[in-house]
């Protein structure tokens, strides 16, 4: 039996590779068929709990695995191939469960098709969008502070931000029904210190459908990260797509602090893209940003520096490999591809036509 389960991993991989080339099948029968039922079941089951069941399970699995290796070390050395087989049995079960409960969403139709927008852009279009976002971000910033030099202090705690994020999804559902979100399961990670050192803002537990957000994330950035993780729960796996969803749902929130967080977030992605190719243009644009907005960016920078560590590149390399294995050929760079989606979206929905503020 163990041999059969271990060998099933090969056939599972072949099947998933075939499905990855059939996004219409995944979209119809999984993302809009099986997945919503499964995900809502787990959110009903665990969402009401104030702590993460998934993180407790991860901890117990880690402890049990270490204990097993210690207690059976002599047997492992004596029968190494038996141990390797057992490892592949675990991997086969993990791979099957991961794909069934959430992972197949990696292969659904691109979200750009949902919005009927293009996802190819030019450098000038990124600059144009950045200039529009600078104007919008400065405007919202001044509405809040009445002082271009004052940093925005978001007046909500993280639980209040969770509540407002959920309310934002209920509002955006009226315009975009495919982002319907029921039975919330949005929680602060119990491993937030570790998340910070690993450079993780949040993650979805695919086995319990609980969305965990790093509780140490500066409040200024917390709304967009929360929106991002719920984007995973509603069935989008690719990071550029959930970055875009997080931006969109936060920018359309009725709360002006959320609008500010979203606009500054979008601007930071545009500026990062520009800086990679034209440092001089980046400096020119950055100088146009209100000093108070720059102070919010400095808060994020100092947070990242505080938790910087020599092992973070290793963590990012591991996550990069995971993303590439799930059809995100850009790896961790896919996080930055939100710029392409924003340019395409705002081509159809110009920033200047939006109403924002209280």
What pTM did the predictor assign?
Answer: 0.89
> Of 88-102, 197-211, 259-273, 298-312, where does mean pLDDT reach its minimum?
298-312
Shortest CA distance to 256 belongs to which of 135, 139, 130? 139
Query: What was the pLDDT predicted at 312?
Result: 53
| Whole-Å CA distances, 329 to 104, 118, 240, 335 | 16, 19, 12, 12
- Give the pLDDT of residue 199: 87
How far apart, in whole angstroms, are the C-alpha atoms of residue 289 and residue 278? 17
Question: What value, to the nearest 5°, has the Cα angle with vertex 120 and ends 119 and 122?
Answer: 135
Integer Cα distance of 24 and 323 in angstroms: 21
Query: What is the DSSP code string of 159-208?
Result: HHHHHHHHHHHHHHTTT-GGG---S--EEE-TTHHHHHHHT--EEEETTT
pLDDT on residue 336: 56
- Is the per-residue pLDDT at 98 higher than 60? yes
∠ CA 39-44-49, rounded to 5°: 120
Of 82-86, 163-167, 221-225, 295-299, the least confident = 82-86
Nearest by Cα to 288 from 271, 305, 311, 269: 271
Determine the pLDDT at residue 118: 81
Over residues 164-173, the pLDDT tens digits come to 999 999 999 9
Other C-beta atoms within 10 Å of 36: how many? Answer: 15
Rounded (5°) CA angle 107-111-116: 135
Under a CB-based contact definition with an 8 Å cutoff, are residues 200 and 316 in contact?
Answer: no
Residue 351 CA to residue 136 CA, distance in Å, equals: 8
- Report the C-alpha gap between 301 and 304 in whole angstroms: 5
- Percent of the chain past pLDDT 70, that is, above it, reads 90
Report percent pLDDT > 90 for the chain: 80
Model pLDDT, residue 137? 97
With H, G, I as helix, E, B as strand and everything else as coil, classify residue 287. Answer: coil
Residue of 82 and 119 predicted with greater confidence: 82
């Amino acid at each position: 039996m163990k041999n059969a389960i271990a060998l099933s991993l090969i056939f599972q991989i072949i099947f998933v590779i075939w499905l990855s080339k059939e996004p219409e099948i995944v979209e119809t029968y999984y993302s809009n068929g099986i997945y919503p039922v499964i995900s809502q079941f787990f959110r009903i089951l665990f969402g009401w709990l104030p702590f993460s069941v998934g993180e407790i399970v991860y901890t117990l699995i880690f402890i049990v695995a270490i204990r097993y290796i210690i207690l059976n070390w002599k047997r492992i050395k004596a029968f190494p191939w038996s141990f390797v087989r057992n490892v592949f049995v675990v991997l086969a079960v993990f791979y099957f469960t991961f794909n069934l409960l959430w992972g197949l969403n990696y292969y659904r139709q691109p979200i750009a098709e949902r919005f009927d927008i293009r996802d190819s852009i030019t450098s000038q279009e990124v600059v144009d969008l950045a200039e529009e976002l600078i104007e919008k971000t400065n405007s919202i910033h001044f509405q809040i502070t009445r002082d271009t030099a004052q940093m925005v202090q978001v007046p909500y705690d993280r639980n209040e931000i969770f509540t407002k994020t959920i309310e934002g999804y209920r509002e955006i559902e009226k315009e975009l029904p495919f982002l319907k979100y029921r039975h919330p399961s949005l929680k602060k990670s119990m491993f937030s210190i570790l998340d910070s050192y690993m450079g993780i803002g949040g993650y979805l537990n695919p086995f319990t459908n609980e969305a965990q957000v790093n509780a140490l994330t500066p409040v200024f950035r917390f709304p967009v990260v929360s929106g991002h993780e719920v984007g995973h729960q509603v069935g989008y796996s690719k990071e550029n797509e959930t970055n875009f969803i997080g931006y969109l749902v936060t920018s359309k929130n009725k709360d002006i602090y959320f609008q500010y967080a979203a606009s500054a977030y979008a601007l930071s992605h545009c500026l990062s893209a520009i800086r990679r190719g034209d440092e001089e243009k980046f400096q020119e644009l950055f100088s146009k940003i209100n000093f108070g907005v720059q102070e919010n960016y400095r808060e994020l920078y100092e947070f990242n520096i505080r938790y910087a560590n020599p092992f973070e590149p290793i963590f990012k390399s591991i996550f990069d490999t995971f993303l590439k294995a799930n059809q995100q050929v850009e790896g961790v760079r896919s996080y930055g591809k939100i710029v392409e989606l924003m340019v395409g979206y705002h081509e159809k929905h110009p920033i200047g036509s939006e109403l924002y503020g209280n």
